Amino acid sequence: MNRIYLIIAGMAAATYIPRLLPFTLLKNRSPSKYLDRFLKLIPYTALGALILPGIFTAVPDMPIAGITGGAVALAICFVRGGTILPIFGAILTSYIIIAL
């Protein structure tokens, strides 16, 4: 068999199993107070770790473009909220800085 297909099959299993397992393990079970709180905190801590330090290399050749773009997104969130506007604000900012 083609080695690439073997890699794809192996990677698919290695990716899917961690995604699937919690759905089968935690269904029909009410977690304790502390486990519940732990699970509810994961979105916040995950987002923190997804943003930092990745944002410094979001624009690989020009870290300052990524950082400024992120700062503009944050500023728009504080003033206006929403999702689409901060994204386009960030892209536009990065674009201007790269083009400068």
Size of the site for other proteins (CB under 8 A): 76
Beta strand residue intervals within 1-100, DSSP E:
none
Q: Does 87 contact other proteins by CB under 8 A?
A: yes
Reduced to 3 states (helix: H, G, I; strand: E, B; else coil), residue 16 is helix
Q: Which amino acid is residue 51, in one-letter code?
A: I
Q: Does 10 contact other proteins by CB under 8 A?
A: yes
Rounded to a whole number of angstroms, the minimum distance from the CB of residue 34 to other proteins is 5
Q: Give me the half-sphere count of Cα atoms (radius 13 Å) on the Cβ side of residue 19.
A: 6
Q: Does 1 contact other proteins by CB under 8 A?
A: no
Rounded to a whole number of angstroms, the minimum distance from the CB of residue 57 to other proteins is 9
Q: Does 39 contact other proteins by CB under 8 A?
A: yes
The DSSP code for 31 is: P
Q: Are 70 and 93 in contact (CB under 8 A)?
A: no
CA 76/CA 63 separation, integer angstroms: 20
Q: Does 23 contact other proteins by CB under 8 A?
A: yes
Give the footprint of other proteins on residues 47-76 (CB under 8 A): 47-55, 58-62, 65-66, 69-70, 73-74, 76
